[in-house]
Structure 1
Amino acid sequence: MHFEKDHEDGQLSTDTEIHSSYIDIRPDGGLEAWMVVAGAWATQFCSWGWINSVGVFQEYYETNLLKEYSPSTISWILCFEAFFLLALLPLIGKLFDRYGPSWLLLVGTFLHVFGLLMASISTKYYQLLLSQGHSTVSWATLTGAVLQLLGLWPQDPAIPMGHASNGTTYFGGTHDGKPDSQIENPSKSNSILSEGAVSIGMEKRLAQNLVAVVNGSSMVGRIGAGLFADVYGPFNTWITVTYAASILILSLWIPATNDASVIAFASLFGICYGAYAAVQPALVAQITPISDLGICTGLYFAVSSFSQLVSGPIAGHTLETSGGSYLEMKIMAGFLCLAGATFVLGAKAYATGYRPMAKF
């Protein structure tokens, strides 16, 4: 009896030591971890950078390659990109949990280059749909670098995640706000924000730069969110910036009637948007065992893939039924932000009790 008990205690102690050893070998900083941050920055530049700059491609296709198609039909190419990028992440996450990031990154790099080469010689609708969809598969595999980043920073992942996510901002800065001579038909702008600004009288060239303003100011939010998340917790930070974005949409964007107010909204919203995007993966890492980090992160983003798929067509239909007014879309965006923040606040309250400032 004593021998069996001692044997069980010894086995438990050994298991505990193995588990502790496994946790301790993760650097949580240092050269290796920061090199992964640099790699994740590059993969974010190649993946989410494209998604966040879809307006440039939408406009180019409308005025050059796909003139015979309606804008709503062309938007499906770009909506499918975002959808498949997110929908594939549970599979990518499971492969990451089992095999690690190396093979994912090797395969993703090859597919990314091949997909872009095919897109560069595409002239038909179906060719662009297939080639850019092919690139989407590569973008999904490149997220292995982000998952590796979360694994190497078990204590405070928000700050390195903020630096890595800035890759999307730099991509947007290289494509957004192009002069009229580079993209034809300047009456078309690159986002709902810039199109709505033109509808209230903003000069078209200035309106084209609003997306660049959002991307530029989002750098402040991405880095600052990491600092706040390490002090107050990622959940508190995410909830706060999402509520702030809702307030900005409903109280500043909707009543904006001049250039100054629209530019102020773009600057402030960019900060909130950057913080929101940077902290998202840290929410999952906060409540997920390291062994299941890949699949859980993938499932988190897969749920949002459906909103990416239908958001463009819904926005187009809303604009058509409202007679060209952007008011309904602004109201819908504001209340959806409010709803999302409230759901996450409810989840936090359920886990921590009704303690508003509990770090979680």
Structure 2
Amino acid sequence: MAAGQPLNSYPHQTELQDSEKDHDVELHDTGSDNFVPIAEVAGDEEDGIDHCREKELTKTPTHGSNVGALASRTLSLVRTRESGKDIGPPPDGGFKAWSQVALGHFVIFNTWGYINSFGVFQSYYTESLGRPPSDISWVGSIQIFLLFFIGTFSGRATDAGYFKAVLTAGAVLELFCIFMTSLSTQYWQLFLAQGIGQGLGCGLMFCPTIALIPTYFTKKRAIAMGIVASGSATGGLVFPAVVMRLLPRVGYGWTMRTLGFISLGTLIPCLLFLKQRLPPRRSGPLLELSAFKELPYVCFATGMFLNFWGIYVSFFYIGSFGRDVIGVSQSTSIDVLLVMNGVGLVGRLIPNLMADLYTGPLNMLIPFSLCTGVVAYCWTAVHDLQGLYIFSALYGLFAAGIQSLFPATLSTLTTDLKKTGVRMGMVLSVVAVAALIGSPIAGALIQRDNGEYLYAQMFMGSAVLAGTITLIGARLAKLGFVWQRA
């Protein structure tokens, strides 16, 4: 799966002026901490601090990806009340900072990278359990839903100073449930272990890690977050490849245990050496209902619901389609999924760079959404293996662009930067629901169409194109027909 992802404001520090050193100023968050997948974040803008007690340092999120954007916040900062000492600026490099990046890459490898691999299990479970595709897709959908949704709470626990506890709980839960999945023989066992258990574990690990990494960087934040985000692509390559090689040789149980040992080996260093840099701070409200009175925000939230309603269908069912319709082998169907996940690395980095340099995120998101919808319709014309590879590469590229651009786009639609965090949290909740129900609906359509995929393909393409139309509505409501960065 893909997963996909994703707000471009980060905690940022500034030193006290000499004349202000007698004041006790506390670090606090005026937005909520919510998180999602996946890509590069770059740049920041700063406003000065006139009064340590009353003025806030705000950073304008202008671009980036799911990953960076989900850590967005507006902070007033200067030194901790507890210590009375200036914590100093981020190191912005050096062994300590880059080691956190490497460890963060492994966390994303084990969260989004693992979830992006669900297409491998979709086809295998459908055959081995004899269950309809819609039933199996609920397992993967609940993983995505929980990863998005749990971020609201795990992020707040991290703010309160419980980063290590939350990360450890998530790692232990995910590892335990991977090994329990290896023992599962019935659908309900898979749903509990792989769906709910691993989804909770991923949500507990992913969100705090994405909030942590930006606190170590300023100018080099973009490349740092890009390296971390690429864990979703490397995981989406490694896990399916392992399944493809081991499943025919050692069987399902030991294949899953091998995945568990890979996760164990890559998570232990994360638990030992990932370190929270900032002191505890307060979190803001969970809801800001006045946002739904703003037409650009409503159109944007609706557009992202529609996009994520359909975007994961192909990631879940591309393997099954290859086997059922084209007649390829299990290993070849996994190769197709590897292509779709692999090109996602380019799709997460290049669109953000182009948006940063030339267009702005909203102006870049709209054509990527349009191309994703058009390519989704083209899936109906795929009848051979060559066409399947071409479709997988194009769809993986454009869909990754949606995942990486949508959180950054919110910053262009929010005039009050203090509300960016809470508004992103509300959008992520909407996206979580869409990701939860989209793939099961597609599975039900496949079953209703007697195993054919046309209804599901049309549902996927129509949902994404409808999302494109509402995103255009958000652009027009915000800026009209005048061309400018957005």
CA RMSD of aligned residues (A): 3.8
How far off its partner does 1:352 sit? 3.5
The residue matched to 1:355 in structure 2 has which SS?
Answer: coil
What percentage of residue pairs aligned between the two structures are identical? Answer: 25
Cα–Cα, structure 1 residues 260 and 147, in superposed 2: closer, same or farther, change >3 Å?
Answer: same
- Residues 86 and 298 in structure 1, CA contact (< 8 A), matched pair in contact too: no
> Distance in 2 between the 1:41 and 1:275 partners?
19
Q: Deviations over 1:77-132 (max 9, x none)?
A: 33322222223232234334544744432332233333334334444444433333
> Distance in 2 between the 1:283 and 1:33 partners?
28
The residue matched to 1:209 in structure 2 has which SS?
Answer: helix
Q: Indicate whether 1:139 and 2:202 are aligned.
A: yes
Q: Which segments of 5 or more consecutive residues in structure 2 lack a partner in the other structure?
A: 1-48, 58-75, 79-86, 253-313
- Residues 214 and 271 in structure 1, CA contact (< 8 A), matched pair in contact too: yes
Cα–Cα, structure 1 residues 27 and 242, in superposed 2: closer, same or farther, change >3 Å?
Answer: farther
Report the residue type matching 1:181 in the other structure: P
- Residues 92 and 218 in structure 2, CA contact (< 8 A), matched pair in contact too: no
Q: Deviations over 1:187-220 (max 9, x none)?
A: xx98422333445535335333211111111121
Among residues 173, 176, 185, which one is paired with 1:111 in the alignment? Answer: 173
- Residues 93 and 220 in structure 2, CA contact (< 8 A), matched pair in contact too: no
Report the more deviating stretch, 88-97 or 328-337: 88-97
- Residues 119 and 319 in structure 2, CA contact (< 8 A), matched pair in contact too: no
Report the residue type matching 1:56 in the other structure: V
Report the residue type matching 2:117 in the other structure: S
Number of residue pairs matched by the alignment? 344
Report the more deviating stretch, 174-183 or 73-82: 174-183
Q: Indicate whether 1:13 and 2:76 are aligned.
A: no
- Residues 346 and 397 in structure 2, CA contact (< 8 A), matched pair in contact too: yes
Partner of 1:209: 335
Q: Indicate whether 1:254 and 2:321 are aligned.
A: no
Cα–Cα, structure 1 residues 101 and 349, in superposed 2: closer, same or farther, change >3 Å?
Answer: farther
Return the TM-score normalized by structure 1.
0.78
Cα–Cα, structure 1 residues 289 and 44, in superposed 2: closer, same or farther, change >3 Å?
Answer: farther
Cα–Cα, structure 1 residues 77 and 329, in superposed 2: closer, same or farther, change >3 Å?
Answer: closer
- Residues 90 and 299 in structure 1, CA contact (< 8 A), matched pair in contact too: no
Cα–Cα, structure 1 residues 166 and 306, in superposed 2: closer, same or farther, change >3 Å?
Answer: same
- Residues 241 and 275 in structure 1, CA contact (< 8 A), matched pair in contact too: yes
Partner of 2:393: 267
Relative to its length, the structure with more helix (as a share) is 1
Partner of 1:347: 474
Report the more deviating stretch, 91-100 or 221-230: 91-100
Partner of 1:331: 458
- Residues 88 and 140 in structure 1, CA contact (< 8 A), matched pair in contact too: yes
Cα–Cα, structure 1 residues 34 and 227, in superposed 2: closer, same or farther, change >3 Å?
Answer: farther
Bigger relative contact order (CA 8 A; separation at least 6): 2
Q: Indicate whether 1:53 and 2:117 are aligned.
A: yes
> Distance in 2 between the 1:68 and 1:130 partners?
18
Among residues 135, 152, 157, which one is paired with 1:95 in the alignment? Answer: 157
> Distance in 1 between the 2:215 and 2:408 partners?
11
Q: Deviations over 1:278-328 (max 9, x none)?
A: 233433466497866665444322212222222232112211222332222
Partner of 1:304: 431
Q: Which segments of 5 or more consecutive residues in structure 1 lack a partner in the other structure?
A: 1-11
Report the residue type matching 1:220 in the other structure: V
The residue matched to 1:257 in structure 2 has which SS?
Answer: coil
Q: Deviations over 1:36-69 (max 9, x none)?
A: 44343222211122222113233444455xx365
How far off its partner does 1:137 sit? 1.6
How far off its partner does 1:161 sit? 4.1
Report the residue type matching 1:192 in the other structure: Y
Partner of 2:146: 84
